[in-house]
Amino acid sequence: MKILFRLDANKQIGAGHFERCFAIAKGMQATHKTSNLSIVFACSLLPKKYKDRLQDSGIKYIPLPVLQTQSEDAIYLKNQLEAKVDLLCVDHYSLADEWESSIREKCKKLLVIDDLANRKHGDIDFLLDQTFNRTEAAYYDFVSQKTTFLLGSPYALLRQEFYTIRNSKRPSKRSIAPPRKIVLALGAMNHAGSTNILVEFLATLRKSYNLSFSVTILLSSQANELSSLKESIKKLPYITLKEDCTNVGVVYSEADLAIGACGTSSWERCALGLPSLTVTLADNQNEIARQLDEYGAHLYLGHIKDMTFSAFENAFMMLSQTPSLLEEMSKKALQICDGKGVANLIRKVGVANIFLKKATTQDIKTVFKWQSNPVIRQFSRNPNPISWSEHQKWMKAALKSNTRHIYIIRSKTHLDDLSVGMLRLDEHLDGYEISILVDEKFQNQNIALNAIKSIPEQFLLKKIYATVSTANKASQNLFTKAGFKKVEADLFVLKNKEELINEE
């Protein structure tokens, strides 16, 4: 499987595009530890620290010329590719319809990551916008009807550490007022010296109100105005600067309050329930800032260029004197994001690891839930509802049968392992008859196709038959795609394992 990412990261645009794509890439690697997975990043003038991270992770890098036009960029990248990639992910505000249409011939699936909803996109398969409460209506004028939307904070693209900390080390009670440990993280590149401004504000507050908090600053080693910042904090022993921090989740989990920007770090703070005072650094952060503020997950103070000490002082002291507000903010933040965005994306684009597990009595209730769904039953030989007692009797007998073989389809990512469907093989004529169902929530993710590819080899030594209603166009296409031959209007046959198609 070949995955290609197109993005840029530098002092001007920051590191957000790199960080969210890197989180996806690492999630895919962890999902497919033993499979033949190739991941490539294509970027223009990528700083050395990011190239080193790619190399350390076994991710290939294609250097691109400075972006001039969409067409030139697409043509250059196409010339670097020997064959089609299985998935192309583009995370770039300067690339849109023209670039996507040109590159389309080089990818089987095309995923666009966006959060601006301000430009037309081409023939794309997926559009991901992790903005809280984002709706499809924002993109109706910009994408085709075939595009699948992946919207809202369930698709917040975070590294695995945030999910791990959230679930193994539950965030401590966030009601310490005044806060003792503050983390200051206004973007990796210190846009417009924003960190320097807030350091000055915090120093003034600490002295004026005789407060005793400590501050941890998170920045890139290539951040703007870094030397002047280091000079200014030399006389402030309560401030620690962490450059290129590799355990941000731990730092957040130990803090009482964050002062941050409204990019990717918004979701990191929410996942760990960290109360926050926030500012925006660019216009693309405005919608996230507004939505999270209205929900009560952070307190938004406006754009950094409009920030005054008086406004910051009032907000900080209000939180410092109101433990209940901090606690409520923490609860709201935890509701926003569970840290599983990358896993959700991996499933939706069909990159999860699909395998079969022999069914047991522990699966009876789950299978009943699926078979009771009228959407799933509509093309069954018997579309009528079944009772719980009927189902129990049928499945217990089926599990004991030597001529009926039931498997649960499992979908595994780096974060979880879920039951998503059932595959059954019944002895039939000179082979087996296959039937397959997929949980409605997980349909259109290549699960059924990959489940067929996972059929144990002993069954592939004989013919496999599939009886499919002529009205069920999706299933008819599925078995054709898997290599079955259509021998009658509603009958498909796979004669042997050599006919099974392994290419998607």
Alpha-carbon distance 358 to 108, whole Å? 32
Pull the structure tokens for residue 487. Answer: 């021998």
Burial of residue 12 (number of CB atoms within 10 Å: 0-12, 13-18, 19+): exposed
Pull the structure tokens for residue 217. Answer: 């600053």
- Sorted by sequence, the CB contacts under 8 Å of residue 249 that are 6+ apart come out as 159, 161, 162, 164, 165, 268, 272
- Sorted by sequence, the CB contacts under 8 Å of residue 309 that are 6+ apart come out as 201, 204
Binding site residue list for substrate: 159, 268
- Sorted by sequence, the CB contacts under 8 Å of residue 28 that are 6+ apart come out as 3, 37, 39, 346, 351, 414
Secondary structure of 57-88 in HEC code, one letter for each residue: CCCEEEEECCCCCHHHHHHHHHHHCCCCEEEE
On the question of a cis peptide bond just before residue 178, with omega within 30 degrees of 0, the verdict is: yes
Pull the structure tokens for residue 61. Answer: 């890098």
User: In a 3-state reduction of DSSP, which class is residue 288?
Assistant: helix
Give ∠ CA 202-182-154 in degrees, rounded to 5.
Answer: 125
Active site residue 17: yes
Binding site residue list: 159, 268
Q: Which whole-number Å values give the CA distances from 301 to 14, 191, 278, in the listed order?
A: 21, 16, 6
Q: Give bridge partners of residue 183 from the DSSP assignment.
A: 216, 258
Widest Cα–Cα separation across the chain: 87
User: In a 3-state reduction of DSSP, which class is residue 307?
Assistant: coil
Pull the structure tokens for residue 230. Answer: 């280091």
Q: Which of 17, 32, 92, 414 is catalytic?
A: 17
Alpha-carbon distance 494 to 491, whole Å? 10
DSSP-based helix, strand, coil % in the chain, nearest 5: 40, 25, 35
Alpha-carbon distance 6 to 76, whole Å? 12
Q: What DSSP element (H or E) covers 269?
A: helix 264-271
Active site residues: 17
